[in-house]
Every structure is written in C-alpha cells, then in structure tokens.
Amino acid sequence: MKLGKTVAVSLLLWLVLITCLHGTMNLQWFAKKTASPDDARQKFRIGFLPVTCHLTCPVTDFINKNLEGDSFFEPVRFNGWPELKEAYLSGYTRATFILAPMAMALREQGVPIKIVYLGHRDGSAVVVHKDSRIFQTKDLKGKTVAVPGRYANQRLILYRELKKAGMTLDDIKIVEMPPPDMPAALYSRAVDAITSGEPFMGQAELDGYGRVLFQAKDAWPGFISCVLAVSEDAIKNDRALIQRLVNGIAKSGRWIDQSMDHRMEAAQFVSKYYYNQDPRLLTFVLSKPPDRVTYTRLTPLKKDFEEIEQLAVEAGILQGTAHFEDYVD
C-alpha cells in the first residue's frame, strides 16, 4: 500500500512536470521529443516565426484549409532563431523560413540547404527613441544597437549605412536580442536603437516612443531579410511537393499585394490564429506605408545574393566559400 502511494505520488509529480513543460516550451518543440521517426516522415513541417517576413506561410496554410479543407503542410511556430535553426538541422522541420545570411553560412558549413524562394522584400527599419538626438546614421557613433543575431541581414544594413557615413561596425556597440524583446529595450533606454524584421519595429512606432531613423525600403531598396529553404534531399525525393509549396507561397504573396483589403484580412486571421498578436500591429505595418513590406518579386536573384555575399564577407559574417549556385535552387 505504501509502495502504491509512492508510485502514485511519483506519477503525479511527473504529470505536473509535463504540464510545466507545456507551459514553458514551444508545444511543437516538445512534440518533436516524443514523435516517432515515422510520424516525422508523414508530416511536412515548415518552421516560421511571427514576423512579416514569414507571413506567406500562415496565409498559405489558412487559404488551403478554407478552400480545400486541409493543408498539405504543417506550419510550426517558433519564438527565436536558435530553436528554429535547430529544428531544421535535426530534421524535425523539412523546410523553414530562415535569415538569408544564416542559410548561406549553413551551406558554407556543409549543410545541404537550398534557398527556393524569398520571404518578402523590405519590411525592416532602424528605430531610435523618439526623444533621442539620433537623426542620421553618423549619430549612431558610440551608441548601442540591438540586432536579431550575427547572421541577420539587419546587421548588414547597418554595415552598409555606416560604410556610407565613413564608419564601421566598430563605431557602434552591437548587442544580439530576440526581436520581440526589442521594443521594451528601446522604451526603457536599455539600447539606443533597434533593428529587426517587422512587426516589432512598427510596435515601437505605433506605441509612440519609437522614431524611424530609416526604412530598409529607402536605404536598401529590395532588401532581403528571410528566405524559404529546404534540404537537397527534399528537392530530390519530393520535388513535386516542394514545387507545390513554392507555388502556394508565391500565390499567397501575390494575393496579399493585390489589394489593401487582402492585407487587412491577412492581418486579422494571421494575428488571431498564428501569431498570437494584437491585430492592430500587423494592420499598422502592412499599411503604414503600403510599400513598407512587399510580397511580390520574390524569385531569388543572383545579383541580390552576390551583394549580400560581398557585404557579409567584408563584415566578417561569411567566409565567401559558398556561392549562389551552391545555396539556391
């Protein structure tokens, strides 16, 4: 009887632990630990973050479910780049939206990754506190700027603009920070400037304490932040499925850019069902101004990636050992 009580208590503690895990970890990430290899092969999972650069992923899923009753892939939301990258490297996700320089760096490291489409163009900014005395790039000298990570293209846009002003990355202090934490850091003056993909730059502006120093669309027209990437094996073994995915993402992008009504519809259902954000945030960044972020012209172009390569090598982010033909299909 005593042993039975001990077992019952142990079982109860284990259930409590499982409940805590579910409350503190991404549910899909926890599922990875318990899913069988057969289950992983059956589901075509795509990793994404709640950012505008990945918006076509939930839009495609939503449209598929409403028009066809089901979706041919499973979108898996993550909250940061490290877990998104590890999920892809482990094979849990067979495709993923990922930072362009990060995909290029993985290819340099021997990972058989292929970029098949872009996430969007532009959709980024450098934002400072509205009461700061930072009004142009040279005013960033000696200031602390938050970026999403080493392999974020926002680091390169900083490098590019500093270079124009006769400065280098050594003239500022860079800190790496998850984009969702950036608005609060700027509000509290823990950092002087923030830069990442939307909608987090828009959040600081919308809430009244952030001021745009420059938009990506103006500083680097056609700016690329994230890409859709898959493994070479997926292309080889499931080429028709990958083509269907790219076609769906492309059609969703065209649908979003077709009218402001479509943008506002997307802001509502994506915020509610996929991003867990206040819809006013996506509504703001998809409309103020309308070309703040665009979802057409998303075929990967060699000239764009050659510029990223060159800047990333100069900035010490890439080695320059992988090129367009190596990492793009």
pLDDT in tens, 75-105: 999 988 999 999 999 999 999 999 999 999 9
Provide the pLDDT confidence category of residue 17 given band limits of 50, 70 and 90: very low
Q: What is the number of residues in the chain? A: 329
Going by their DSSP bridges, the two strands 124-129 and 293-294 should be labelled as: unpaired
Contact of 115 with 299, CB cutoff 8 Å? no
Angle at 268 (CA atoms; ends 255, 194), nearest 5 degrees: 90
d(CA 304, CA 318): 15
pLDDT of amino acid 21:
34
Residue 97: partners with Cβ closer than 8 Å, 6 or more residues away: 46, 47, 48, 49, 53, 54, 57, 84, 119, 226, 227, 228, 229
d(CA 100, CA 175): 20
d(CA 6, CA 217): 63
Whether pLDDT at 2 is above 60 = no
Handedness of CA 281, 287, 289, 291 (dihedral sign): positive
In terms of C-beta density within 10 A (0-12 exposed, 13-18 middle, 19 or more buried), how is residue 178 classed?
A: middle
Whether pLDDT at 33 is above 70 = no
In terms of C-beta density within 10 A (0-12 exposed, 13-18 middle, 19 or more buried), how is residue 201 classed?
A: buried
pLDDT of amino acid 42:
57
User: CA separation (Å) from 282 to 206, 249, 323?
Assistant: 11, 19, 34
Contact of 165 with 247, CB cutoff 8 Å? no
Whether pLDDT at 192 is above 70 = yes
Mean pLDDT for 15-36 is: 35
DSSP code for 224: B
**Percent of the chain surpassing pLDDT 90:** 84
Q: What is the pTM of this model?
A: 0.84
Provide the pLDDT confidence category of residue 6 given band limits of 50, 70 and 90: very low
Mean pLDDT for 114-140 is: 97
DSSP code for 26: -
pLDDT of amino acid 250:
97
